Structure formats: C-alpha cells, structure tokens
Amino acid sequence: EDYQLNGFPDFMRKEIHDQTRAGHRALRGRLDERFATARLDGLGLDARELRAVRRVKFLGCGSAYYAGQLGANLVEELARLPADAEPASEFRYRNPVIEEGTLYVAVSQSGETLDTLAAVQELKRKGGQVVGLVNAVGSAIARECGSGVFLHAGPEVSVASTKAVTNMSLSFALLALLLGRVRDLSMAHGRRLVAALAAIPDRITDVLAAEEQAIAAAERYAGTEHMFFVGRVRGWPVAREGAQKLKEISYVHAEAYEAAELKHGPLALIDHTMPSVVIVPDDELLAKNIGTIEQIRARNGPVIAITNADLPEGLAETVIRLPRGEPELDPILFTVPLQLFAYHLATALGRNVDKPRNLAKSVTVE
Ligand code: G6P
C-alpha cells in the first residue's frame, strides 16, 4: 500500500496527506501521561545517563539538517541544554572537537546518506556518544549507531521529504521532553506538552483540511522567480525547510533569512517582484514579526504570512492560517502549509514533484 498511489496524483501529495497517521505512529507508546514525560527506550539511556548529557548536537543533510535545527531549539528550550545542528557533510571534514557529555544525534530518513554515515563513523572512532534518529529500520546509519529512535513514518517515496520531516520533529520533541523532565522541566509543564504533542497529528488533519489557502497562495505567486522565506527563532528552521521544499520541487529560487538579518543586506532586493513568506507564530515575538512584515511592505514587497495569530487586517497580502497549540511545539505544524505551498506552486508550473531534476532520494555517494 505504501508503494501505491491509492487515488493520489503523486507520492508527494499522498505522503503529505499521510502525516496524521504517520504522526500517530511516531508517538505511539512514547508518551507517559502519568509522569508527564516521554519514553524512548531505544536510546538505551537511563535517567542518570540522561542527566549526564551536557550538550546535544544534531547531524544530518538537507531536510534532516533543517529538522535538526528545529530539534536543537526544542532541546534548548525544554531541557535548557546547549544544542545545535550542523550539516553532517561539514562535520566529517572539519576535524571536530568531540566533547565528553555531548549527545550526538544522527538524523536521516533513509539511513543511507553517505555524509551522515561517515560522520557517525568518525564520531565513533573518536569516542563520541552517538544515537540515530532514523526512519529506515536496518539501514546503515541505524546499524552503525546501534541505538536511537525510529521515526515510524513508513516508506517515503517522493524525493522531497514530508512525513519523515514531521516525524523527525515529533521525535525531537519527545527527546527534548525526556531530557527536560530529568532536569528542571516541571510536572505541570510536562503535562501541557504531553497533551499538546498528542494532539499534533489530528491538528495536521485540520491544516490539511484548509489546503485551499495554500492552493490560492501558490496560484497567486506561481509566476515569481525568486522568493524569501523569513522567520526568527522558532520560525527560523521552518523558514529554511520551506525554502528548501520550494526550490527542490519547483526550481524557483528560494532563500531563507533570519527576520532581523533582512536589514543587513537582503532588503536591497525587496520590490514588488520579490515576495516573502513570513513565519508568524503567535508567541512573544509576534510584534517583532509584524514589524518585519511592515518593513517588507514599505518596500513594496508582497508578503505571504503563515500564522496562527490574529494579524491586523490588510497587513499581509496573503495569509495562510493554522490552529494554535503550545508555542514551543507549534513550529512542528508550521512546516505542513509550507509543504502544501511548495507542492501546489510546483504542480502549477507542471513540475514532476516526485522526481525533481538532479536530485536523488538517498545520496549514497560523495
Ligand atoms: C537527499 C534528499 C533530501 C534529504 C537528504 C537527506 O538530498 O533529496 O530530501 O533531506 O538527502 O536524506 P536522509 O535520507 O539522510 O534524511
């Protein structure tokens, strides 16, 4: 069934619409309501070992790297541990310092990406502690890591990753919750997060039900040659993944920028031909993001706001709305309308979304 279209026009669309089911699988048996924490037995780490973690570093390529940035934000926010993400391809060539107390997390849908596998091997050679966050059971990276978290997204056929990315984010949230609860994340906060996480797969259904919004936006901007994707803090990895999706399947030039960095160069490019997709979560940075939109509009740049906040009427030309949950976890949901936007823009241009030119699903060469 995973390898059949079942009435969908292509695998990408099918896999986007499979995200509710896939998300439920990622969470199954892993949420502990009683102790308001997560259970990730595959990590093979007990509470003492989890408390010994001083830093978390995510390694991956492409969408797995951008997802890792979202994971790093979650770990930093929920567990108050320093965390970051790096492309596995860079890591393996730069003679990295391997610190004791750092938990390295190798992130990969296929489990076969050569650059990520080589980073794991280099880590192991140098005595680093590495776990895998992998979709394909029995894959090279899963075997090399020996322990970790399986994504349970099911087979992903389309070259552009969708449901695997969402399951990566859900799994990072579980990891962050687990690391947080053996530190100073309270029971009450943990309860809120467990409930919000459990609700995400069904909220994805709500986002998909409002697909019309993404279709309208995609049709409106299908003639554009360049686009910015703009976000700050929680919205930044979302913007990067949104730009990645658009460029890989539509061949439209898309570039992601941290919102406040716009004024340090890219603003020079803004005019009526340069639309910006702005990620606007309803969080403590809402006013800042509204300010960013105003700056873009003042230079005649069209704005597509992706938001779960109530924005002032007429602020953005186009608005794609989604439901609100817990602010820490909402970035996981924000990726879905961006998948739809990229998908519909690419199909409006007649692209073969499942097999974009020059790209491979799994890159097992240098
Ligand atoms: C290729 C694919 C990307 C993917 C990346 C990492 O470049 O085209 O969509 O994000 O590999 O793949 P992985 O299987 O390691 O997640």
User: pLDDT of 75-93, one tens digit each?
Assistant: 999 999 999 999 999 998 9
Using the atom order of ligand 1, give the atom closest to the CA of residue 359.
Answer: 8
Say whether pLDDT at 38 is over 80. yes
Spatial distance between the Cα atoms of 221 and 304, rounded to a whole number of angstroms: 10
- First and final CA of the chain: distance in angstroms? 32
| pLDDT given at position 305 | 98
Residue 258 φ/ψ, nearest 5 degrees: -70, 135
Residues 154 and 127 sit within 8 Å (Cβ to Cβ): no
Banded pLDDT at 363 (limits 50, 70, 90): confident
CA distance 201 to 163: 11
Using CA positions, which residue lies closest to atom 11 of ligand 1? Answer: 362
Confidence at residue 225, expressed as pLDDT on a 0 to 100 scale: 95
**pTM, rounded to two decimals:** 0.97
Phi, psi of 89 (to 5 degrees): -65, -35
From the alpha carbon of 110, which atom of ligand 1 is closest? Answer: 14
Ligand 1 atom at minimum distance from 164 CA: 16
Nearest CA residue ID for atom 3, ligand 1: 62
Q: What is the Cα–Cα distance from 47 to 189, expressed in whole angstroms? A: 19
Residue whose CA is at the smallest distance from ligand 1 atom 4: 62
- What is the 136 CA–ligand 1 centroid distance (Å)? 12
Q: For residue 134, report the phi and psi dihedrals to the nearest 5 degrees.
A: -130, 150
For ligand 1, pick from 12, 63, 354 the residue to mutate: most ligand atoms within 8 Å of CB: 63
DSSP per position, 26-89: HHTTTEETTTTEE--GGG---HHHHHT--EEEEEESTHHHHHHHHHHHHHHHHH---EEEEEHH
* Residue nearest to ligand 1 atom 2, measured at CA: 361
| Three state DSSP letters for 99-166 | CCCEEEEEEECCCCCHHHHHHHHHHHHCCCEEEEEECCCCCHHHHHHCCEEECCCCCCCCCCCCHHHH
**Which among 37, 237, 238, 41 is positioned nearest to 131, based on CA atoms?**
41
Tell me the pLDDT tens digit for each residue of 208-224: 999 999 999 999 999 99
**Amino acid letter for position 95:** N
How remote is the C-alpha of 303 from its chain's centroid?
22
The interface predicted TM-score of the complex, written ipTM, equals 0.95
β-pairing, 148-150 vs 226-231, is unpaired
Which of the listed residues 15, 59, 66, 109 should we mutate to test ligand 1's pocket, taking the one with most ligand atoms within 8 A of CB?
Answer: 109
Q: What integer pLDDT is reported at residue 366 of this predicted model? A: 80
CA dihedral 94, 97, 100, 103 (to 10 degrees): -30
The structure tokens 């994340």 sit at 185
Nearest-CA neighbor of 262 among 238, 297, 286, 287? 297
d(CA 164, CA 146): 20
- Ligand 1: residues whose CB is within 6 Å? 61-64, 108-110, 113, 116, 159-161, 359, 361-363
What rounded mean pLDDT belongs to the chain?
A: 96
pLDDT at 92: 87
Q: Contact 153/26 with Cβ under 8 angstroms?
A: yes
- Is the per-residue pLDDT at 195 higher than 80? yes
pLDDT tens-digit profile of 223-245? 999 999 999 999 999 999 999 99
Selection from 114, 129, 139, 157 nearest residue 50 by Cα = 129
